[in-house]
Amino acid sequence: MAGILLNGRQRTLNSAADDEDDFLLAIQHQRAAERFREQIRLERDSIVVVVRHHLRLRRGDSCAVLPSDSWIQGGFNLCVLVDVRSRASSESRRVVFRCPMPHKLAEQHHPGTIDEKVSCEAAVYAWMQAHCTDIRIPYLYAFGFAGGSQFAHISQWPWYFRLWHSLKRLTYLLLGYALLSNYTRVPCTPAVNTAYMLLEYIGPETGQMLSATWAQHRHDSNRRARLFHGIARTMLSLARLPQPHIGSFKFNQSDGTITLTNRPLISTMMIFENSRTPRNIQPRQLYQSPVAFAYDMLTLHDNYFLHYAHAIRDDEEARERITIRTLLRTVMHHFMIPERQNGPFLLQPTDLHQSNIFVDEEWNVTCLIDLEWICSLPAEMLAVPYWLTSCSIDNIINDEYKQFDEARQAFLAAMEEEMITIPPAHDIPITRTMLNTWVSKAVWFWACIRSLNGWLFLFEDHIAPKFCDNRDVISDLKQTSAFWREDIDTIVKAKVEDEERYQAKLRSLFSS
């Protein structure tokens, strides 16, 4: 039976059948990505016109979309590289025309999600430009929504408009209005058939992705110390100002203001919704307490389990997973901090990893890219990045646990030192909170909330032992699965049938 190429790897029927991820959906996404790439390739001339317009290029300046084999495809975006050359100075630079991919953002199931994502990400850029000037981020020149509205930074406008806008921002500030961003609507802009963000290209003169040298230098104590300090500074700067709600910033197209009025948009939520999970957290939903947020996130996980065709292998596994989902709700209250139930809340990077951190040769952090999943969340969700010891979060056990604990302590020590220069504007003791969530095991509960599929192992390895030494406690408590939903036997039977249909479709795909 012939194999199938997925993301550059040849896959067999057996490997696809054993994979916990939805192979059928991954194939659909791969084909959709190819179609989207071709669509954008056909839009090259339009992209050039839009870039020239936003950058105010002169007639003699050149602007060209680079070949598609140089484009960068991430988990949610396609980054088109554009070369811009000034005729006057003969200097060239690159910019990134970053397009959200509809097939990865639930646009088909929930129209408007692409614009929601662009709105939230642009808002984070604008907010950080105003409040986190110590964090180097790519310059955002302009952005456009799927509906056609386009906005550009005021630096591209005449001096008298910039002066007027600065006075307007000052007035908003003095009157206590919402933050007025430096982005204004651009009239008569050429159209392009995609939402986009036009960003500065971060090149080698700034640094390189941490992932490029991670394997080579991760055991270098001096480099690691500098990295810890840099990441700690980033987290502290984002968390410096208290936030009144759990949610995401939103760019308001009507007036260019930034408000904390969008649901907390994290990648897990987007991936679930894109897998046809019913939406239970609406775009305008904000939270005033961690309990309500955790409850709705657990409901999102439950809905994903119910609607994911490849959620379980058999009857036994179904009941085991349902038992854990039931127990997560049972123990949830143990991980809530009573005095923090009404906030304040803190801005946090929920998708911080080695490929969106740029460093120099000595691992000083030089830039942070990909700001799309930064949200205001409960303070107890702040955590030391799990990847500091190159271990997946569901494998931090035994010796790996000890290694991570050592790295965690070193990271918190670095954060304590950095707090001297970045004092918070609130009374939340950040490092003490992070220490307390480690001791109480709350860090693992919140990791379950953020996790796609690691929650099963996190509960068994870290949360269950807090309450019971019996390693077989999940098996012993399988009868509690009956309290997850009414008529649980029918649900389990339906999930087993889902899996049988999924495996049949897999066999059909590989035999065709």
Give me the pLDDT at residue 94, please. Answer: 95
| Mean pLDDT within 105-117 | 94
Considering only CA atoms, which of 131, 78, 202 is closest in space to residue 376? Answer: 131
Considering only CA atoms, which of 235, 247, 450 is closest in space to residue 357? Answer: 235
Tokens of 422: 């970045």
Higher pLDDT, 48 or 471: 48
How would residue 88 be classed by pLDDT, with cut points 50, 70 and 90?
A: confident
Q: Tell me: the pLDDT tens digits for 284-295? A: 999 999 999 999
The total number of residues shown for the chain amounts to 512
Q: What is the residue whose two structure tokens read 């500065």?
A: 200
Within-domain flag for 323: no
CB burial of residue 51 (10 Å; 0-12, 13-18, 19+):
buried
Q: 436 to each of 336, 337, 389, 458, how far by Cα in Å?
A: 11, 10, 21, 18
Give me the pLDDT at residue 512, please. Answer: 80
Tell me the C-alpha distance between 107 and 194, whole Å.
12
Give me the pLDDT at residue 451, please. Answer: 92
Within-domain flag for 493: no
Backbone φ, ψ for residue 157 (5° rounding): -105, 165
Q: Tell me: the pLDDT tens digits for 152-206? A: 999 988 888 889 999 999 999 899 899 999 999 998 777 888 999 999 999 999 9
How would residue 481 be classed by pLDDT, with cut points 50, 70 and 90?
A: confident
Domain count, the chain: 1
Within-domain flag for 97: yes
Q: What is the dihedral of CA 202, 197, 129, 213, to 10 degrees?
A: -30
| Mean pLDDT within 322-331 | 94
Q: 118 to each of 36, 43, 95, how far by Cα in Å?
A: 18, 20, 18
Judge whether residue 84 has pLDDT over 60.
yes
Within-domain flag for 360: no
Within-domain flag for 396: no
Give me the pLDDT at residue 1, please. Answer: 54
Within-domain flag for 55: yes
Give me the pLDDT at residue 508, please. Answer: 92
What is the span of the domain harbouring residue 125? 4-200
Least confident of 432-446, 472-486, 492-506: 472-486
| Mean pLDDT within 19-29 | 92
Higher pLDDT, 59 or 349: 349
How would residue 470 be classed by pLDDT, with cut points 50, 70 and 90?
A: confident
**Residues near 195 by beta carbon (within 8 Å), at least 6 away in sequence:** 99, 100, 114, 115, 118, 143, 144, 145, 146
pTM: 0.94
Give me the pLDDT at residue 161, please. Answer: 87
Q: Tell me: the pLDDT tens digits for 136-158? A: 999 999 999 998 899 999 998 88
Give me the pLDDT at residue 477, please. Answer: 83
Considering only CA atoms, which of 414, 391, 465, 436 is closest in space to residue 232? Answer: 414
Give me the pLDDT at residue 185, please. Answer: 94
How would residue 360 be classed by pLDDT, with cut points 50, 70 and 90?
A: very high
Give me the pLDDT at residue 480, please. Answer: 86
Query: What residue type is assigned to position 428 of the chain?
Result: I
Tell me the C-alpha distance between 116 and 375, whole Å.
13
Backbone φ, ψ for residue 150 (5° rounding): -135, 145
Give me the pLDDT at residue 352, please. Answer: 94
Within-domain flag for 102: yes
Judge whether residue 89 has pLDDT over 80.
no
Q: Tell me: the pLDDT tens digits for 407-429? A: 999 999 999 999 999 999 999 99
Tell me the C-alpha distance between 333 and 234, whole Å.
30
What average pLDDT does the structure give for the chain? 94
How would residue 97 be classed by pLDDT, with cut points 50, 70 and 90?
A: very high
Tokens of 339: 């005095």
Tokens of 127: 């907010």
| Mean pLDDT within 370-376 | 96
Within-domain flag for 349: no
